[in-house]
Structure 1
Amino acid sequence: MLSGVNVALGVTGSIAAVKTVELAHELRRHGASVRAVMTPAATRIIHPWALSFATDHEVVEEITGDVEHVALCGRDGWADVFLVAPATANTAGKMAAAIDDTPVTTCATTALGADVPVVLAPAMHEPMYDHPGVLEALATLESWGVDLVDPRIEEGKAKIASEEAIATALARATTPRTLAGRHVVVTAGATTEYIDPIRILTNRASGRTGRAVARACYVRGASVTLVHDGPDVEYADVKRVETADEMLAAVSEACVTADALVSAAAISDFTADAVEEKIRSGSPLSVELEPTPKLIDSVRRDHPDLPIVGFKAETSGDDAAMVREANRIRDRVGLAFVVANDASVMGEDDTRVLFVAGEDDPADVEEARGGKDVVAGRVAERLARVLDGGSDADIETGTGTEGDEPER
């Protein structure tokens, strides 16, 4: 997600500075290079050696004749983005007033003047965060294009945002906004069908790929609605559902204003007529199963021109079979393209998929492999080309028919 991105990390005198060692490690895990700049107050909370170890670079503690602020954040400087995390009320106010009396504020003034993207992660006590002057300073910074990563309000404190939220904000600040102004609906994970109040029908899908796709679309500027049975995330408006019927209802509502749908969820193919009390164990049991409606068929029927991306999981392990099945669902529903994968990778950190965009033409099948974020980025890039009328935009739309294939 941050591969090849150079991050200048400004650390100020909040107690949340103790979290910056792990933050630096996390950014590097995502592929970024990190160099730290510290205020004098920050060095009294966490030793510069700790950040030197975490970043594998010397820490800037003062501005010298080497003009470190220009070398880092000038027009031809090292940094692709300047991150202030944690950002105190003091530092936010100084940045908004163009006061640069610490290494961090001097780098901030330089970055803002050089059009280097700036990301701010405030951390302070809640009454300080609610001070009208602080709110005005943050609003001023936002009006200048600074990206704010909202703090978590807990226990009377505006705590620094999660490492994931900060990494996502950095990716959004440094990635071309190819989906800016678009509303993308993404489904993720498994659905659940009840047999009784305790027993369920479900599958092994973790939802990690769908959530990664939602984040990749957000990073590229989209407004994202994520429909899943999972946690709230900072990069999308989450609609939480359990059953296939609930997912269909939520997606149908969200698609009224959508520019595209990415159907990455592993939706249950069958539902049962659930009973109200627990079924007693120890006796033979037969469960009557009924097929669930096909989500992409239903959406296509209601939105004949909506670009839809489908996912198709197969267990054969054969590429030709995966492409054949992907083309079958693509042609049936009129999909922009299909992401085909072997079901054996479900739940794994790394994955391998085939992008299928045209029937039986090897030139229209592209392989992608790597972590979930890597593959999700490829999905978002291809979707952006579709919406811009690029090579994947020859969408064969139609009303579709009911079938027996699961969307994956």
Structure 2
Amino acid sequence: MRIVLGVAGGIAAYKAVLLLRLLREDGHAVRVVPTRAALEFVGRATWEALSGQPVTTDVFEDVDQVAHVAVGKQAELVIVAPATADLLARAATGQADDLLTATLLVARCPVLLAPAMHTEMWEHPATVANVATLRSRGVHVLDPAAGRLTGTDTGPGRLPEPDEIAAAALALVTDRPQDLAGRHVVVSAGGTREPIDPVRFLGNRSSGRQGVALARTAYARGARVTLVAANIDVPVPAGADVVRAETGAELRDAVRAAAKDADVVVMAAAVADFRPRTSAESKIKKVAGGAGPVLELVETVDILAELAHERLRADQVVVGFAAETGDDTGSVLEHGRAKALRKGADLLVVNAVGGGRGFGTEANDVTILDGSGAVVGTAAGSKDEVADAVWDAVVERV
């Protein structure tokens, strides 16, 4: 694939070197187009050596080849990493004062921008407006990661890791159908934690891998994605709007807020069925020779059933997940069918857990039921493959 890698003038330009290496190792032909400022951070020789192609920054270089038009027209994918506040502003206003911005105007292939800047710059109304403008034109603008910035600063504005940028960009040119384009999907992922005291909690084994895979594949299929992330063990996918939650109550509030304008809500999070009636304000201490504390548990709100019965938006498709174990009262599938009838969701994805299956694994094996408990699909394989099977079933209902 012919990829243009644009690099703007920010300290995070060093990460673009790693991104270039990943793309080249994956077999792609990469033309690096830095800004003049970017060359202050990483020199021309580095880009040319690693890409195997000449590097130019100005529209007056390679005039005989009309580079300011040819580079964009020949590209099958354009990635800009880092995309600084200045680059976002120039792209949003249609400037073409160097080879990179001229390329962005000419390109008709998918374009992904990975911003990196200080938190104050990212949150400034001008940058917020520029990002909104670019997204309204079909440009894919990632949200920056939160973490350590230049110096001692921390906060949102950090460039996502190179492998995350590569995955998000290449997903735009996969053979996945764009059948979720124009749709807003909300996905919950991970396990909730219900506090016992300031240091202890009731939780579960969910890693969040399946929910993250659902968010990642929905984005690749063209959706606008909101990921409500409880406690997860994997990185959040690039391209998703991420809302954090800790407890079941926090997750409920976050999902309901996001679901008000969602076409699809997928409850893949493992929400605790019970929580302590009260939580101690200080750490519960052991008492020599004494018995351990007795916890009184109360049921938590059934978020899936609530969403399914209320339907916060007309024609909204609600999907649930049921992690089950068979017992002497029924099989995994029998328990799943009973839950499908009880919950009222449009689809219920049933998977067996325990014994090395389900939670924390790289693969999954599921049965997809409709609201009546009838089997409408099955899937086995990687969690991305399972996620695609779930979206296939959803697409038939939106």
> Match for 2:169: what amino acid?
L
TM superposition shift of 1:100:
6.5
Measured in 2, the distance between the counterparts of 1:40 and 1:245 equals 47
1:265 aligned residue:
269
Measured in 1, the distance between the counterparts of 2:309 and 2:230 equals 22
Q: Number of matched residues?
A: 368
Measured in 2, the distance between the counterparts of 1:270 and 1:94 equals 50
2:286 to 265, 280, 284: 280
Post-superposition CA distance 1:1-26 (Å, at most 9, x none): xxxx7642123454432111223356
> Match for 1:334: what amino acid?
G
Contact 2:193–2:246 (CA under 8 A) maintained in structure 1: no
What SS does the corresponding residue of 1:357 show, helix, strand or coil?
Answer: strand
CA distance 1:279–1:6, shift in 2 (3 Å): farther
> Match for 2:340: what amino acid?
R
Measured in 2, the distance between the counterparts of 1:120 and 1:35 equals 16
CA distance 1:125–1:253, shift in 2 (3 Å): closer
Q: Tell me if 1:182 matches 2:177.
A: no
Q: Is there any run of 5+ residues in structure 2 with no aligned partner, and where? A: 57-61
What SS does the corresponding residue of 2:271 show, helix, strand or coil?
Answer: coil
> Match for 2:290: what amino acid?
S
CA distance 1:294–1:131, shift in 2 (3 Å): closer
> Match for 1:212: what amino acid?
A
Contact 2:205–2:360 (CA under 8 A) maintained in structure 1: no
Contact 1:7–1:80 (CA under 8 A) maintained in structure 2: yes
2:42 to 27, 37, 46: 46
What SS does the corresponding residue of 2:395 show, helix, strand or coil?
Answer: helix
1:116 to 109, 113, 135: 109
Matches within 5 A, 1:3-402: 7-25=3-21, 33=28, 35-39=30-34, 41=36, 42=38, 45-46=41-42, 50-51=46-47, 57-62=51-56, 63=62, 73-74=72-73, 77=74, 79-87=75-83, 89=86, 93=90, 99=96, 102=99, 104-105=100-101, 107-111=103-107, 115-122=108-115, 145-149=138-142, 161-163=159-161, 166-167=165-166, 170=169, 174=173, 177-219=178-220, 220-224=222-226, 226=228, 228-229=230-231, 235-236=240-241, 238=243, 240-242=245-247, 244-274=248-278, 276=280, 277=282, 278-281=284-287, 282-285=289-292, 286-303=294-311, 306-315=316-325, 321-343=331-353, 344-346=356-358, 348=360, 350-357=362-369, 364-370=376-382, 372-387=383-398
The TM-score normalised by the length of structure 1 is: 0.69
For the aligned residue pairs, the C-alpha RMSD in angstroms reads 4.6
Contact 2:89–2:127 (CA under 8 A) maintained in structure 1: yes
Contact 1:224–1:235 (CA under 8 A) maintained in structure 2: yes
Contact 1:355–1:366 (CA under 8 A) maintained in structure 2: yes
Measured in 1, the distance between the counterparts of 2:307 and 2:267 equals 10
Contact 1:7–1:35 (CA under 8 A) maintained in structure 2: yes
TM superposition shift of 1:146:
3.5
Comparing 297-306 and 261-270, the one that deviates more:
297-306
Post-superposition CA distance 1:340-376 (Å, at most 9, x none): 33422455462123242357877x3322312x44443
Post-superposition CA distance 1:283-334 (Å, at most 9, x none): 33343434434332233333397422121223469xx944443333223323
CA distance 1:97–1:270, shift in 2 (3 Å): closer
Q: State the percentage of identical aligned residues.
A: 32
What SS does the corresponding residue of 1:213 show, helix, strand or coil?
Answer: helix
CA distance 1:139–1:289, shift in 2 (3 Å): closer
CA distance 1:32–1:361, shift in 2 (3 Å): farther
CA distance 1:241–1:26, shift in 2 (3 Å): farther
Measured in 1, the distance between the counterparts of 2:123 and 2:316 equals 43
Measured in 1, the distance between the counterparts of 2:193 and 2:132 equals 43
CA distance 1:60–1:106, shift in 2 (3 Å): farther
CA distance 1:16–1:350, shift in 2 (3 Å): same
Measured in 1, the distance between the counterparts of 2:91 and 2:306 equals 54
TM superposition shift of 1:266:
1.1
Contact 1:172–1:221 (CA under 8 A) maintained in structure 2: no
2:59 aligned residue:
none
Measured in 2, the distance between the counterparts of 1:83 and 1:366 equals 36
CA distance 1:65–1:213, shift in 2 (3 Å): same
Measured in 1, the distance between the counterparts of 2:379 and 2:34 equals 47
TM superposition shift of 1:192:
2.0
CA distance 1:34–1:325, shift in 2 (3 Å): farther
Contact 2:350–2:369 (CA under 8 A) maintained in structure 1: no
